Amino acid sequence: MPEQYFKHYPTIDFDLKNDGNLIEAKDIFRNIRISEDAEEGITGYEYYYVDDQDRPDVLADKLYADSTLYWLFWMVNPHLATYTDWPKSQRVLERFIKRKYSGKALVSNQQSDIVGSSDSKFFQGEKVVGSTSSAFGFVTKIDPTNKQIILNDIEGTFINNEVVTGSNSSKSFTIISVRNFSDSPHHYEDSEGTKTTISTGNTPVSNHDYEQKFNDDKRSIKYIKLQFVPELLRQFKSMIRE
């Protein structure tokens, strides 16, 4: 795609290769979506399943012999709103999950162990100490729905059936299990696959499995057949000059 097509677009820092190295690129993602009426008139679509090696530029080169035409994928796929919506490689996804769901979950027997009344609850950021292990960590998330608190910056190893106490709140409960936050329930699903926060009789979906499915669901994309691209580029050039 010739650079002059985008000379009026603002620039952004773009991690094109998903490797943490930013390059300056035109912010074409915000408003190049094909309208529904125009999309209905285009029959030259195919579907492609994006794998780990398929960066946007690599795939554009594979399909169009032009790596600069990667922006066409954003034009015809509603689930690609910004460059961050491109499916992550498995390595990048695991790193993302580890960062987003860092820490350990200390699980209690009931919700009131986590939040009782307005003056009976753990505090965000407070130190929590195990009575037997002397392990400690700091509260980064309070989750009464899943009967757990999430701790980071942990020293030592918390153990089941020990009492943990908040240093500031004095709130305490007996741990029934310790797990990675990434393994904690994101939500539950009933027999028909409908999401719910109700655990009884339903199947838990972990944070890790939720992010995995969310990423995998984005791997199926539409792309415009090569023979239709020249006319589309001509129309697009005319459109942005209006």
Per residue in 103-150, pLDDT (tens digit) is 999 999 998 888 876 667 899 999 999 999 999 999 999 999 999 999
> Is residue 127 in some structural domain?
yes
User: In terms of domains, do 110 and 193 share one?
Assistant: yes
User: In terms of domains, do 43 and 113 share one?
Assistant: no
User: In terms of domains, do 110 and 130 share one?
Assistant: yes
User: In terms of domains, do 209 and 117 share one?
Assistant: yes
DSSP code at position 35: P
> Is residue 92 in some structural domain?
no
Q: For the chain, what is the domain count?
A: 2
Place of tokens 């209905």: 40
pLDDT in tens, 1-57: 434 445 545 566 666 566 666 666 655 554 555 555 455 555 578 999 999 989 999
What number of other Cβ atoms are within 10 A of residue 140's Cβ? 15
- The runs of H, that is alpha helices, within the chain are 36-40, 56-64, 71-76, 90-100, 207-217, 229-240
User: In terms of domains, do 71 and 161 share one?
Assistant: no
User: In terms of domains, do 151 and 225 share one?
Assistant: no
> Is residue 56 in some structural domain?
yes
Express as a percent the part of the chain with pLDDT over 90. 60
Give the SS3 label for residue 241.
Answer: coil
Give the SS3 label for residue 188.
Answer: strand
Distance CA 117, CA 137 (A): 23
Place of tokens 């329930």: 185
DSSP code at position 10: P
User: In terms of domains, do 195 and 110 share one?
Assistant: yes
What is the span of the domain harbouring residue 40?
Answer: 3-87+220-240
Please state, in angstroms and as integers, the Cα–Cα distance from residue 164 to each residue in 16, 112, 127, 160, 182, following that order.
45, 14, 10, 10, 21
Q: Compute the average pLDDT of residues 184-193.
A: 94
User: In terms of domains, do 112 and 17 share one?
Assistant: no
Q: Which tokens go with 117?
A: 């009344």
User: In terms of domains, do 71 and 162 share one?
Assistant: no
Q: Which tokens go with 56?
A: 């946007």
> Is residue 93 in some structural domain?
no
Distance CA 106, CA 151 (A): 8
Please tell me the pTM assigned to this model: 0.80
> Is residue 112 in some structural domain?
yes
Q: Which tokens go with 155?
A: 């020293």
Distance CA 132, CA 4 (A): 67
Q: Which tokens go with 191?
A: 């027999």
